[in-house]
Amino acid sequence: MDNNIVVMKFGGTSVGDAQKIKMVARKAIETKASGKDVVVTVSAMGHTTDELIELSKRVSASPSRREMDMLLSTGEQVSIALLAMAIEEQTYKAVSLTGSQAGIFTDDVYSEAKILTIDTKRIFDELKDGKIVIIAGFQGINQHGDITTLGRGGSDTTAVAVASALDARYCEIFTDVSGVYTTDPNIVPGAKKISAVSYDEMLELASSGAKVLHLRAVEFAKKHGVVVHVRSSFNNTEGTWIMDIDKEMEQAVVSGVSYDENQVKISVFGIPDKPGIAARLFDAFAGANINVDMIVQNVGEGGIAAISFTIKNEDLLIAKKVIQDIRDKLEIKEIAIDTDIAKVSIVGAGMKTHPGVAARMFACLGDNGINIEMISTSPIIISCVIRQDKAKEAIKIIHECFELDK
């Protein structure tokens, strides 16, 4: 890395109105003035995307994804133009680039496109010209020259992908929180900001409900070794660095506690305990594009099995259809759907070398009368399904138990 490029990403709330756009302009200028080459990616202003979706519903019940991308991509285009104007108003040079102009090429999957490659020529030319380069997040162009969007969290992915393509020093994600916390500070006021986490920990935190950074962006950062700095757009304090941490510093055993209330537990009773039944069940879900998270299988008396698993709340409707379709084929006797659950997880890269962490978590919960209904473990995460109305209490208990506030 022989350049001095920094990529700064600002989300929709950070560019929510003219005043905030001016604030973002100042942040970009400050960074430029400190001697860096600055690339900024932004999302659409505030609720723009939702408003455009609402507008589309008024002309079509099921708009095509190509046209939806054509429509939604205007949101970021408005933001980049306004931000460039705000920077130029301070007599700094700036240029706004759409995804297409920035050379962000994606596959053909409208609404959920993946970035294939970034042709960085234009960006480098503009940087060489002394300009602050502002790139529309969330969007790209496919081989046909058509506009695609990257789906939820796409602006984070744009920022990380651009940082990777430019071999930038780091990618700063500005958000409305000051970084990644040991748990949700709204639930545990003593939650501490984590100064650095590994990619793997961040992946687990993101997939378990910590919303500061989108899963796909973290995956991209991990794959390409992009150093990410998550920080507040409202102050100048250091946030959380996400990086290849193993090499650099000793691991904390447990880094944080995350939770997810957006899960449903489905229990299927009375499945004949024959090989391949579970596979057929989950095949059907995969075919309907439903992600199954935790799975627990028990063989009961008489060789009759029960399987419980969790899925996302928004997939429940389709999941019910899937079950209806295969119910008779698989000789399923009874199905129970439980929406009153929550998943509580501890994440920490240090766990893999510290035995007994799981036992300690279960003991903490048990000692406080919280029943654990499902468990899943991996080298760096342990998740428990509990009653939803116990979730906040559980988070506080675990946070204290592992002394994360110390």
* Interaction site with a copy of itself (CB under 8 A): 18, 21-22, 25, 52, 55-56, 58-64, 66-68, 70-71, 73-74, 77-78, 80-86, 88-89, 95-96, 98, 100-101, 122, 145-147
CA distance linking residue 27 with residue 84, whole number of Å: 13
Nearest approach, Cβ of residue 386 and a copy of itself (Å): 44
Question: Token digits for 178?
Answer: 């000051």
Q: At what angle do helices 121-128 and 154-166 cross, to 10 degrees?
A: 70
Cβ nearer to a copy of itself, comparing 81 with 326: 81
Contact in structure between 188 and 399 (CB atoms under 8 Å): yes
Nearest approach, Cβ of residue 121 and a copy of itself (Å): 11
Cβ nearer to a copy of itself, comparing 93 with 152: 93
Q: At what angle do helices 65-89 and 18-33 cross, to 10 degrees?
A: 60
Q: Parallel, antiparallel, or unpaired: how do β-strands 292-299 and 304-312 relate?
A: antiparallel
Nearest approach, Cβ of residue 5 and a copy of itself (Å): 22
Cβ nearer to a copy of itself, comparing 85 with 358: 85
Q: Which residue has the tokens 């035995």?
A: 355
Three-class secondary structure of residue 273 per DSSP: coil
Nearest approach, Cβ of residue 56 and a copy of itself (Å): 6
Cβ nearer to a copy of itself, comparing 158 with 263: 158
Nearest approach, Cβ of residue 156 and a copy of itself (Å): 22
Of 64, 77, 65, 82, nearest in space to 19 by CA = 82
CA distance linking residue 388 with residue 329, whole number of Å: 33
With vertex at residue 171, the alpha carbon angle to CA 79 and CA 195, rounded to the nearest 5 degrees, is 120
Cβ nearer to a copy of itself, comparing 136 with 349: 136
Nearest approach, Cβ of residue 372 and a copy of itself (Å): 48
CA distances in angstroms from 51 to 47, 180, 362, listed in the order given: 6, 30, 45
Strands (E), 254-360: 256-260, 263-272, 292-299, 304-312, 334-338, 341-347
CA distance linking residue 64 with residue 317, whole number of Å: 21
Cβ nearer to a copy of itself, comparing 65 with 152: 65
Cβ nearer to a copy of itself, comparing 56 with 368: 56
Nearest approach, Cβ of residue 81 and a copy of itself (Å): 4
Nearest approach, Cβ of residue 93 and a copy of itself (Å): 10
Cβ nearer to a copy of itself, comparing 151 with 270: 151
CA distance linking residue 166 with residue 34, whole number of Å: 19
